[in-house]
Each structure stands twice: as C-alpha cells, then as structure tokens.
Amino acid sequence: MSVHCAYFDAQRCRSCSDIELPYADQLARKQLGLQKQLADWPDLHWLPPVASAVRGFRSKAKMAVGGSVESPTLGLLDAQGHAEDLADCLLYPPALSIAFSPIKRFIGVARLTPYDITSRRGELKFVLLTLAENSGELMLRFVLRSREALGRMQLALPSLRANLPQLRVISVNLQPVPAAIIEGSEEIALSECQHLRIELNGVPFFLRPRGFFQTNQPVAAALYRQAQDWVSHCAPTRVWDLFCGVGGFAAHCSDESRAVHGIELSEEAIEGARLCASEMGLPKLTFEARDAAAQLTFPVDGCPDLVIVNPPRRGIGGDLCAALDSSSVGWLIYSSCNPVSLAADLRRMPSLQPREARLLDMFPHTSHSETLVLLERG
C-alpha cells in the first residue's frame, strides 16, 4: 500500500522522502539496510519487523510559524523564509490536527507576530504540540524570541482553553538567538500543570515541556514490550537503564522483586520518571540525574546483571563500550535510532555477542527506524 500526499506531489514538503514507495517495500528496504550494517554477526537472529500505521502516527508536531498575525501558517519555512502551511499533513492524527485552528486564532488574539528569518523581527518562532494518545490531552509550547508578548498571551489564554479544552500543559520557551535551533534553555509555565501524562501498555509516563518522548506511541509501546520480554527471559535481579529519559524501559522491566535503576542527565526527565515509579508503587525502581555516558565503571559488588542503553544518534561511544565490555554485565539491550553508530558500538564490545534483534518502524516514509538488539556475554 502506498500513500498519496498532495504536499509531496506539489513539492511543497519533501520530508517523507520515501512516501511514493509502497509501505511493504519501505519496510523491506529498511530491514535489508539494517542487516547489511550488522553483517559482521551472521548468526544474529532477526525477529519480524514491527510495522507502523502509514498515516496519523505522529503524536508530536514541530511547526514553524510563518505568515502574519491575521493569517498565520503552521508548518515549514524554506531557506528564504517562505512559509508552507502543513496543518492538513496526513501524518497527524485527528486528535492532534484539530488543535491547529484554535492555535491560529490564539495567535491573532494575542497578537503574536511570526518571526521573520530575513529581517530578524517578530516574536513567535515555533509551535510545539504533543498528544497523549491514551487520553487525548495536549501539551502546547510557544517558542518566542523574547518576553514581549507574555502579558497578551496570559490575557488571551481563557479563550484558547475554551476553544481547546484538551489542553493540559501550556508553556513558553524563550529562544532569543538568530540560529537554526528550535528551542532555548528557559521555559515559562502558563498552566498550573506542567506534566503531560502518557500511558503505554498500562504504564504511566510524565512528560515535562522540555522532555523527550517517542513520536510514534504505538510503535514505542511495542519497543518496550520487546525489551520487557527479553528481560523476563534473562531473569536478572539487577538492571541499569542508561539514558533512561522518563523511564520507559526501566518502568516496563521493573517488578516487586527486581531492582531497576535508571540514569539520565535531564533532571526534568528524572522528575517524571520518579512520578512513574511512585504511581506504580515500585520501591525498587529508582532513578538518578547524572550523565549516563560518563558511567565508565561497573562495581564488582552490586554490578547489574543486565544493562539497557538508549543513547542519542551518536551512540554510547568508545569509553562506555570499553567499560561494558570489561564488566561482569551478563546481558545488554541496545536501543538505537542510528544503525551506523549501533554497528560501531557493537564492534567495540567483543565480549558481548548480539543474539537477537528487531527493527521497529518509528518513522514511516523515511529512511529512519529504531533497532533493538539483545547481547549476551559470550
């Protein structure tokens, strides 16, 4: 089955570079490319790939703001600052896309001038929207150049809430720098609640405005179930989850008897992870805010039996690979969004042999996907 996109056909948006391919061919191409990257391990057992829905699968929208106060656009800006409105993009589910019109009206009511790249004038740069698919609740963030519009926004918030009652979290992110970065370091709360509750597989997660959560929630649920299945099979008593984020893997792999410890640099993410552990009533599920990439030693006493890593695209790097390779860790579960860095890291850990792997298609119509690999000390 292939998907027809008017934006792509008119060359107004080319983000979904593979959308003209039938989806089965997309999935087969990704699987073949991944197997080539991991060809050094011919005995690696491949589980069937996890497919995605081909439309309506994105639970997050990162929309550049263009146009004018009276007629704003939400979508893309080209190099010349020309705005392309993508409010009808087929990747967004109805529960997300219905928010765009009320947001545009709010931009007009609050007199939020879209930022102009060329002149470096204006205030509103991006609108960032996240959906909790289990509840339909939304997190809305406005990326502004300065605080100039805050007063007008606060006055106009009641009308926005009336038009969009699904809003749970509202905030402003300040990004004053004229550079190609989406958000800055300062977040200003406009709503009393600053956690979006997202539930996957019956596990609650609490996402704060600057936190990360997977874009494709159904495939993320499958990712966590696969890791959960491997952990149950390995039956470790102690698990460490490095780069744990809001605790997705850790929470799925914890129970009343197993000690699971998550490590993540972001204190906001750790705050959400601890809320998850508290709601689940799991005292042996603990979290710590520090740099997981700096975990260069594993204790002899109390060493984890199994470690989970979910690093950014650059991978875990040589130092952490060396520490894992020389440790007594019996199993490693590696979640990767980059097959190149994944293969490089696996080569750095010859004592841990890849046994089983699975492709999970988080990003249909593109060349990107997620890979989960189970390694065992050989």
Structure tokens at 361: 């298609």
Burial 278-309 (b: 16+ CB within 10 A, else e): eebebebbbbebeebbebeebeeeeebbbbbb
Question: Rounded to a whole number, what is the distance in angstroms from the first to the last CA of the chain?
Answer: 42
CA distance 214 to 196: 13
Decide if 337 is catalytic.
yes
Q: How far is CA 354 from CA 36, 42, 144, 249, in A?
A: 15, 10, 46, 19
Structure tokens at 96: 């997300």
Q: How many CB atoms lie within 10 A of CB 202?
A: 9
Structure tokens at 208: 């704060």
Residue among 139, 129, 58, 80 nearest 100 (CA): 129
- Give the active site residue among 5, 253, 321, 337: 337
SS3 18: coil
* DSSP secondary structure of 142-189: EEESSSTTHHHHHHHHHHHHHH-TTEEEEEEEE--S-SS-S--SEEEE
**What pairing do the DSSP bridges indicate for beta strands 138-144 and 167-174?**
parallel
Question: Do the Cβ atoms of 51 and 23 come closer than 8 Å?
Answer: yes
Q: Which phi and psi angles does 238 have, rounded to 5°?
A: -130, 130
**What pairing do the DSSP bridges indicate for beta strands 203-207 and 196-200?**
antiparallel
**What pairing do the DSSP bridges indicate for beta strands 331-336 and 306-309?**
parallel
Question: Do the Cβ atoms of 363 and 19 come closer than 8 Å?
Answer: no
Question: Do the Cβ atoms of 41 and 353 come closer than 8 Å?
Answer: yes
Catalytic residues: 337
